[in-house]
Amino acid sequence: MAGERVVRAAAGEARAESVGARLSAVRRATSALAAPLSPEDAMVQSMPDASPAKWHLAHTTWFFEAFVLARAERRHRPFHERYAYLFNSYYEAVGPRQPRPARGLLSRPPLDEIRRYRAQVDERLQVVLPGLPPELLDVVELGIAHEEQHQELLLTDVKHAFASNPLRPAYAAGAAPASGRAAPPLAFLTRPGGTAETGAGPDGFAFDNERPRHAVLLAPHALASRPTTAGEWLAFMADGGYRRPELWLSDGWAAVQRNGWEAPLYWERDGDGWTTFTLGGMRPVDPAEAVAHVSFYEADAFARWSGARLPTEAEWERAAAGAQPDGTFVEDGRLHPAAAPDADGIVQMLGDVWEWTRSAYEPYPGFRPLPGALGEYNGKFMVSQLVLRGGSCATPRAHVRPTYRNFFPPDARWQFSGVRLARDA
């Protein structure tokens, strides 16, 4: 028995050390992403769905303070008693919060104080980590994944803010170079039907909405070998894709009329051609690159125009089970989708663009949310949203996996969302 306790203790220490190293790395990465921003940049909120970069820096810190330090420190005192109001996102069980559309009004606390807040909480986390019980180490791992999500949100929100500025400033001068290569020909790869297992298994980290693993019945189908390119989207536009109501769902056509959509978000006419705003500034649309910043409505209309459809998330996950992470991720510094690699089989399933599916974001059979306030993380959003899969050029590479379920409303466009077509066999 004593030997077993020693083994368990050693395993616990090793896990705490590993989690601590990953925590430090993700916290440094977030700070590095915010480093190019001025204090003025960091407080801009260009639309209600976006948040200021300063808020992302503080909210991810508050998460660890509220859900780890408050339970782990014997004499816990928050850095500031009002930060729970300022930087809570949507946790009703924790208390009231600053309204989401009004986060850009928070000129105080200043950015330097938020950086001090991050530094102090980081120090306190390293003090408590060695003695954390397994259930709190689980929360730290959730916090790491949560912060990786906000790294991507920070970049997409900064992109929207900078695109709203008439100067069209660049976030990073070296970002978004032209691909310099042609897209490989599009092929449809046949997939057999039958029973398939979907969702994350019981071991290892996954969000609660990825579980439980369960069986689904698939009909024979075919999946596109790569995502849709900007060049293919240009052909859709040239054929009147945004002017033909027969291609659109009713709500989608209403969104086109209401918002004046005529191209993906960030595309602008330039004489007879098109330019696009990137995190590296304005540049011509590269027809070889995966198209991005399209809504579910646009993806669905394009699929109908193509004589195809969007895949279900189960079809997508089955194809991605053996896929290589051959796409572009945030660590590559490109911060813009690239052209697909010229390789046999299915490519670019992980990275470059999130891929819309036709599947509603709903619970898997037997889904159980996490206990307490953390149960609000995913489950309460399981209505009126669609599932996206695969990750993007702004996603950390270690964050994605074939079972990962992202979700957004059908009219959302500011994320790096793209299209992979499917067909019935």
Q: Is the pLDDT confidence value at 10 over 90?
A: no
d(CA 178, CA 182): 11
Cis peptide before 36 (omega within 30 of 0): no
From the list 350, 351, 349, the residue with the least C-alpha distance to 335 is: 351
What CA–CA distance (Å, rounded) separates 275 from 216?
42
pLDDT for the residue 8? 64
> Tell me: the pLDDT tens digits for 188-242?
999 999 999 999 999 999 999 999 999 999 999 999 999 999 999 999 999 999 9
- Tally Cβ neighbours within 10 Å of residue 112: 9
Average pLDDT over residues 370-382: 91
Mean pLDDT of the chain: 96
CB-based contacts of 370, cutoff 8 Å, min separation 6: 142, 208, 377
Beta bridge partners of 295: none
Q: What is the pLDDT of residue 16?
A: 96
pLDDT (tens digit, 9 = 90+) per residue, 336-360?
999 999 999 999 999 999 999 999 9
Compute the C-alpha angle 281/417/392, nearest 5°: 75
Instruction: List the domains of the chain with CATH numbers.
Output: 2-163 (1.20.120), 188-424 (3.90.1580.10)
Per-residue confidence at 419, pLDDT binned at 50, 70, 90?
Answer: very high
Nearest to 186 by CA among 233, 220, 240, 218: 233
Mean pLDDT: which of 59-63, 319-323, 370-374 is highest?
59-63
| pLDDT at residue 385 is higher than 70 | yes
Query: 259-268 long-range CB contacts below 8 Å, 24 or more apart?
Result: 259/411, 261/298, 262/237, 263/237, 264/233, 264/291, 264/292, 264/293, 264/294, 264/298, 264/413, 265/293, 265/294, 265/413, 265/414, 266/159, 266/163, 266/293
Write down the pLDDT at residue 41: 98
Whether the predicted pLDDT of 103 surpasses 90: yes
Q: What is the pLDDT of residue 159?
A: 98
In this prediction, residue 1 carries a pLDDT of 61
Taking residue 240's Cβ as centre, other Cβ atoms within 10 Å add up to 10
Q: What is the DSSP letter of 66?
A: I
Count CA within 13 A, CB hemisphere, residue 17. 6
pTM of the model: 0.96
Quickly list H helices, 214-329.
Answer: 230-238, 250-259, 296-305, 313-320
Q: For 47-56, write each residue's pLDDT tens digit.
A: 999 999 999 9
* Per-residue pLDDT, 9: 64
- Give tens-digit pLDDT for 105-164: 999 999 999 999 999 999 999 999 999 999 999 999 999 999 999 999 999 999 999 999
Among residues 91, 92, 83, 33, the alpha carbon closest in space to that of 62 is found at: 83
Residue found by looking up tokens 């949100």 in the block: 153
Question: Which helix (H) or strand (E) is 86 found in, with range?
Answer: helix 83-87
Above pLDDT 70, what percent of the chain?
Answer: 97
**Do the strands 267-270 and 221-224 form a parallel or antiparallel pair, or are they unpaired?**
unpaired
Contact 139, 146 (CB under 8 A): no
pLDDT of residue 12: 77
* Whether the predicted pLDDT of 13 surpasses 60: yes
Model confidence over 278-316: pLDDT tens digits? 999 999 999 999 999 999 999 999 999 999 999 999 999
Instruction: Give the DSSP per-residue string, 349-383.
Output: -SSSSEEEEEEE--PPTT--PPSGGGGGTTGGG-S
* Residues counted in the chain: 425
